[in-house]
Amino acid sequence: MNSDNRQKDGRTPYEKDIDRITFSRSFRRLGRKTQVHLLVKDDHIHTRLSHSLEVGCVGRSLGVMIGQWLRDKRKEKAHQEDFDWPSALGEIVQAACLAHDIGNPPFGHAAEDAIRRWFQERMNDDTARLKDGFRPGEIDDLRCFDGNAMAFRVVTHKEFYGEHGGMRLTYATLGALLKYPWTSHFSGSNKNKFSCFTTEYDCLCEIAGELGLPEKTRDEDEHKAEYARHPLAYLVEAADDICYRVLDIEDAIELKLLPEHMLYEQFSQLLGSDLSEEQRHLLDDGSISWHTKNGLLRGKMIGRMTEEIVDVFKEHYDAIMEGRFESDLVSKSHGNSICLAIETLYKAKHLDKEIYQNQRNIPLELGVYSLLTTLLQASLEAARELVSGGKLSYKTKIIKRFVKYDPGDELSGGSLYRMVMLFLDYVTGMTDEYATFINQQLLGLGT
């Protein structure tokens, strides 16, 4: 891909992917969705939007660096190829990174867990009435609800062209986005993670066919396959891992959950020659704020981790390309690496508990579960009434007026699963504030 391959407006197909994601309503709403810390007033704490933008920057760097390596690796053929490896791979990975959280519900992972638990509590019993009207694969989709699968649904079947291709992103970007290229049917053997609901399975198969993703396993009874990841999906995952591991510490420091000097104590020596003499003086200057010092350390850490991930990708290149690589890239780093050091720090200092399970979040997570219970219960009751074709209750009529849906998604007819998924589109697309507002209306507490 060179300048001659650009569209009339001067953009490459992958730059168009970036722009379509960036200008979408779903992406815009990420600015008012929780990343980790619920209902904080501090403007410096990450939202889903700022996190996605930062992951996109790191992902672009990873893609460019791997693209440069591949270009040099193929230099004997390079003069015959009409393809700009660094730019193309950087744009593809950046686009997928921008979209990686686009399907996550409000209130961060607390809401994702709440949705799963709500359906599990009502569907795990073989006699549970809630299971009536659903097929086994559809029940798995709901009990194992995953924001990754909702992201894939948003970009392929929501937004812009709706059921006719969604955002119409390139196959390469969609492949890089598929962190878990299988349905919930295979999630049990994959830590309950998956990137495709039953509704989008045909789209997954089309992408896998176009990109040549190898089949890992196939269930002939269910007529479903589990595919190997696209090679660039590993870079998208690594960019996310790098950002949240470093920036979640920075956010926790901002909220005084961790000591402000933690990054300095743990990583200033390990960064070694990465720090210039001027930067070392700045870090040792008692008059400089920890905000400034931590910002410097964060940048250096991310830079080093990016280089380390590129080395790991190169080391395992053959296995990745053949669909045999069964790990993430960060955990395969070794030696005197920042990636390894930060994982060791999380375990030694129990940072997962300090950051994600702190005392402040416990009552808030309970509130999120109660809020989601109200929204999901009302949605399911309305879905059953709408599918039945009978007379609608007053409450369902009001709920139907609340729900915003795209052309082709009319709230009438079809299967119960389809109707519930349309309501889940609505609920997961809410911002924190809007979900709170709708919850208050349903409880009769609104004004």
Asked whether 81 and 274 are in contact (CB, 8 A), the reply is no
Q: Is the pLDDT score of 410 beyond 70?
A: no
User: What range does the domain containing 425 cover?
Assistant: 361-442
Could you report the per-residue pLDDT of 200-217, keeping only the tens digit for each? 999 999 999 999 999 988
Q: What is d(CA 212, CA 150) in angstroms, rounded to the nearest whole number?
A: 23
Q: Is residue 366 part of a domain?
A: yes
* Segment of 61-70, 151-160, 340-349 carrying the highest mean pLDDT: 61-70
Q: Is residue 225 part of a domain?
A: no
Q: Counting beta carbons within 10 angstroms of the beta carbon of residue 446, is it exposed (0 to 12), middle (13 to 18) or buried (19 or more)?
A: exposed
The structural domain count of the chain equals: 1
Mean pLDDT of the 90-104 span: 97
List Cβ neighbours of 446 (8 Å cut-off, separation of 6 or more): 437, 440
The pLDDT of residue 126: 57
Task: Give the mean pLDDT of the chain.
Answer: 87
Total-model pTM: 0.91
Q: Is residue 145 part of a domain?
A: no
- 95 — pLDDT class (breaks 50, 70, 90): very high
Q: Is residue 205 part of a domain?
A: no
Mean pLDDT of the 14-33 span: 95
143 closest CA partner among 106, 108, 171, 113: 113
Instruction: Quote the percentage of the chain above a pLDDT of 90.
Output: 45
Could you report the per-residue pLDDT of 219-275, keeping only the tens digit for each? 766 668 899 999 999 999 999 999 999 999 998 998 898 998 888 888 888 888 888
Q: What is d(CA 411, CA 288) in angstroms, rounded to the nearest whole number?
A: 58
Q: Is residue 436 part of a domain?
A: yes
Q: Is residue 117 part of a domain?
A: no
Amino acid occupying residue 12: T
Q: Is residue 380 part of a domain?
A: yes
Mean pLDDT of the 105-129 span: 82
The pLDDT of residue 3: 42
- 409 — pLDDT class (breaks 50, 70, 90): low
206 closest CA partner among 233, 180, 225: 225
The pLDDT of residue 412: 59
Mean pLDDT of the 30-57 span: 89
Q: What is d(CA 238, CA 173) in angstroms, rounded to the nearest whole number?
A: 16
Q: Is the pLDDT score of 191 beyond 90?
A: no
Q: Is residue 37 part of a domain?
A: no
Mean pLDDT of the 125-152 span: 82
Q: Is the pLDDT score of 368 beyond 70?
A: yes
Q: What is d(CA 429, CA 147) in angstroms, rounded to the nearest whole number?
A: 11
Q: What angle do CA 142, 145, 146 make, to 5 degrees?
A: 155
Q: What is d(CA 334, CA 7) in angstroms, rounded to the nearest whole number?
A: 43
The pLDDT of residue 189: 60
Could you report the per-residue pLDDT of 159-185, keeping only the tens digit for each? 887 778 889 999 999 999 999 999 998
* Segment of 52-66, 68-82, 377-391 carrying the highest mean pLDDT: 52-66
The pLDDT of residue 175: 97
Mean pLDDT of the 331-359 span: 86
